[in-house]
A and B are shown apart, each in its own frame.
Chain A
């Protein structure tokens, strides 16, 4: 049975909104239309626009925003905060205001929360719930057809920081857009999380001059420069942590996920979680929303590791991850539906030449575009009607599948049903 809402805390309007949220979400789940977070939250916010502030403020919350790594970092943070007590999280990936409301609107209402928030939605959500900590990881080109200029996102975050006087920001110093956006906040925890993709951070966000760079930093003639980090990834399996070197191992692969873990641990520290406890809690996460999971694929049950890459920065990270293990066949499943961005031009920003030497298979709604890209990169490949057919053609029992957003979603539904 439902726990009764604590009547003293919420306005009648918000109570009604939360009741509707639960009914709608439950109905949507029963009808098999996903986790129901979106529809329930949307209805609730229409009934009570202030519901997010009422439900989310005055509790221990952290918001995670970025172009890449939001879902994983939120998951890691939720694990770390879980060492203190119950934690709410929009673990289904619904990361706009309705999804955040859905995560917060289940009792207990004093539970901590680790919340993934869309880059554009962050100002609205954070102004409503006034989180204790905000994590800002990176900003890069994504969904080109939406023309969310990268600098505009940084400027929105910068304004937000000036308004939230009691919020600490955990920010990546290696991304100039992020560092600039974090400088207005009342307190910063600077983390060196790395930046594999620099093409969107060539121009100073403050004065539009070209940034200078060397191996350790970036700076501009106007005075803007990389802040000195207090936490950094020192190597695979090591962090520099407030002046000491500590071992750090998690089960998710790649340097990028260790950087995500460092950001999450730095945020958890603000809630009183020791770094050792935080990292220990993060171990045991082997997949996030199906990412990094190995599933049987195709009629002969090939073992497919599912990987998500939905923009150039994500692909560059994925190349690093792929090339850190013995080469396996790689299947690229590439769509350009609305949720992917309709414009596939960005694949020409990805150094696909680095796939040379392994078997490459291609499928998806824009498989022909990917095929032309690979042809010009002189990467031999075959084109297939669907992922199952491609898996059959793989010349190994195990393969890596790199899919973008809708391709990944559809593949996950088909392979884990």
Chain B
């Protein structure tokens, strides 16, 4: 399947969800289309504006507590993101964005805030009994072995979050993968993330697609059909080899 019109990549509320270079994911997706001779358009959706329902891929990044609450409220108010997903759009939500697309997440004031309900996940500071001190913030390199069904190579990234995330009972979807290094969801199953239909959530934050071009191409294939192979940029292979070397001891 090929398209005449440009693939539209929405960057949702970059002022609120863009703490860790998350805009990089939009650049990576757009360039990987353009380098294949296809058209791509990055649509920045400023906070306070209605999320357009006609984009192909929606990106949500990381953010601090208060912006995260604002972002969740904004997306719940207009249901266009939910409609777009029902219509076949893909979503990549990282870090705070991953928490926001779930059912609920911790707000800064100790309360629990309602999420966007794109995936059946819930996030808390901790799932332990109240008398157990909450776990420390998860900060550092993270390596995830993706679920075999996704056909992806090892995922490299960085995480920085204080949340623990688990599926709701009877939830749809599969974990993105198993954590080899780092914390990820922080549950006994040692998983990270969720893949439900064309929605991906993960704690690999910021420009995760820069280090993992195969994940970028998976998203593009979901909305575009089969794509020509792309060896570019050669720098990405160098980076993956460098990360594999650097993290081998971990």
Contact = CB atoms under 8 A, between A and B. Distances in A.
Contact of A199 (B15, B24, B158): B15
Interface string A137-148: 000010011010
A91 interface: no
B20 A345 contact: yes
B182 to A, nearest CB: 12
Nearest to B67: A203
B66 A203 contact: yes
Contacts of B28: 376
Secondary structure dominating the interface of A: helix
Contacts of B233: 372, 375-376
Interface string A117-146: 000000000000000000000000100110
Contacts of A19: none
Interface stretch (B110-118, B126-134, B205-213): B205-213
Contacts of B150: none
Given A145-B139, A151-B64, A368 B15 contact: no
B160 A147 contact: yes
Interface in A356-376: 368-369, 371-376
Nearest to A369: B239
Interface string A145-173: 10101110000000000000000000000
Contacts of A369: 210, 239
A347 B21 contact: yes
B230 interface: no
B23 interface: yes
Given A141-B19, A199-B18, A346-B20, A376 B139 contact: no
Nearest to B232: A375
Given A141-B19, A144-B160, A342-B140, A202 B235 contact: no
A210 interface: yes
Contacts of A141: 19
A144 B47 CA distance: 22
Contacts of A202: 15-16, 47
B77 interface: no
A402 B127 CA distance: 45
Interface string A255-280: 00000000000000000000000000
A132 to B, nearest CB: 34
A219 interface: no
Contacts, number: 103
Contact of A151 (B66, B137, B239): B66
B168 interface: no
A349 B15 contact: no
Contacts of B31: 376, 378
Contacts of A349: 18, 21, 23
B160 A210 contact: no
A369 B27 CA distance: 15
Interface string B203-236: 0011100110000000000000000000011111
Contacts of A345: 20-22, 24, 158, 205-207
Interface residues of A, number: 31
B14 to A, nearest CB: 8
Nearest to B158: A343
Contacts of A144: 19-20, 160
Interface string B24-50: 100110010000000000000001100
B15 A375 contact: no
Contacts of B47: 202, 210
A1 interface: no
A363 B55 CA distance: 38
Nearest to B64: A149
Contacts of A199: 14-15, 18
Contact of A368 (B70, B158, B239): B239
Given A347-B21, A376-B210, A147 B235 contact: no
A191 to B, nearest CB: 25
B51 to A, nearest CB: 15
Nearest to A365: B246
Interface in B147-170: 158, 160
A379 to B, nearest CB: 11
Given A203-B15, A371-B238, A348 B207 contact: yes
Contacts of B70: 203, 208, 210
A373 B25 CA distance: 11
Contacts of B206: 343, 345-346, 348
Given A343-B158, A371-B239, A147 B137 contact: yes
B210 A372 contact: yes
Contacts of B160: 144-145, 147, 343
A150 B65 CA distance: 12
A375 B32 CA distance: 11
Nearest to A145: B139
A371 B206 CA distance: 17
Nearest to A345: B206
B98 to A, nearest CB: 15
A208 B20 contact: no
A345 B207 CA distance: 6
B242 A348 contact: no
Interface in B175-216: 205-207, 210-211
Given A346-B20, A348-B206, A208 B238 contact: no
Contact of A375 (B48, B66, B235): B235
A416 B137 CA distance: 40
Nearest to A200: B19
Contacts of B241: 368
B139 A147 contact: yes
A349 B205 CA distance: 13
7 contacts: A208-B69, A343-B20, A348-B207, A349-B23, A371-B238, A372-B211, A378-B31
Interface of A: 141, 144-145, 147, 149-151, 199, 202-203, 208, 210, 342-349, 368-369, 371-378, 383
Given A144-B20, A347-B21, 4 more contacts: A151-B64, A199-B14, A343-B20, A368-B238
